[in-house]
Structure formats: C-alpha cells, structure tokens
Structure 1
Amino acid sequence: MPMAAQDIEDMIRTAIPDAEVEIRDLAGDGDHYAAKVVSPSFAGMSRVRQHQLVYKALGGRMGGELHALQLETAVPNGESK
C-alpha cells in the first residue's frame, strides 16, 4: 500500500523536529516522491550522513511502502550539501 505524502512528512518531522520538509508526489501514484529537508542539525554533516538520517526517519519503509524518494537535503542558509 502506498504511503501518503503527509505520512512521510510526519515521520521526518518526528525524527528531525527542527526540519522544514517539502514533499512532492512526482508521478501521482503515491509511490514516487521528492523530498526537500532543510535542518540546522545537518550543519557540518556530509550529504550521505544527512540522507542517512532522513532514511532512518522513514523506518525501513524505503523499497516497500515507499518505492522511490528523490531526496534533497540542506542547511537553512540555503547551501545544499
């Protein structure tokens, strides 16, 4: 069963409370999303580490309920890593 965009956003916000989260359904099928996550807690972290934190927040749902997630992470000053 596909995940709702709001569920994805809620899970990320629960794990990373200071994050600004934007979720877009890329295909309109509830399976392919893009997420932009901006958080001060990402400061000093590599992009890989930032993405690991977001995937951890999703609790193993990648590849199952959530088929594909195009992920962009950044710190609040607008600098993507």
Structure 2
Amino acid sequence: MKCLFSCANQYVKESDWKDFALVKLCLCAIGVMIGLAVPKKKKKMPLLIAAIVFIATYIPLMTKFLRIVFRKEDDAACECE
C-alpha cells in the first residue's frame, strides 16, 4: 500500500492542472454512468450520499484553493509597492 501512495504522490508531482481536469472529467463520467444504472425508484439514497460526499470534499478543496489565491494576491500587492 505504501508503494501505491508513493506512486500517487509522484504522479501528483509530475502533473499539472490539465491532468487533474482529465481525472475529474473521468470521475464525473463514471459517476454519471453509475447514476444512470440506479433504478429510478431507488435514486434518493445515492443522491443523498453523493451530496454529502460532494459537500464534505468541496469545502476543504475550496478552502485550500482560496487560501492560495489570497496569498498570491497579497504577494502580488507587495511586489507592486
């Protein structure tokens, strides 16, 4: 398992935003395929679970991203003076 995490870390180091966009599109596509496979009568629970997972992952991701954006803006303001 440690080898797998090591490989994943190396992948991240060698990737750029385009690679991560492709990963996100791939995961979105598989999510849509899974969603289409769920019978119409049983879609409430998967929707609820997906919404919880989305919120639980989106908030920390955006928090980190906004921290970086504001840090960059502060750095740019300091360079202009």
TM-score clears 0.5: no
**TM-score normalised to structure 1 length:** 0.25
Greater strand share, structure number = 1
* RCO comparison, higher one (Cα < 8 Å, 6+): 1
**TM-score normalised to structure 2 length:** 0.25
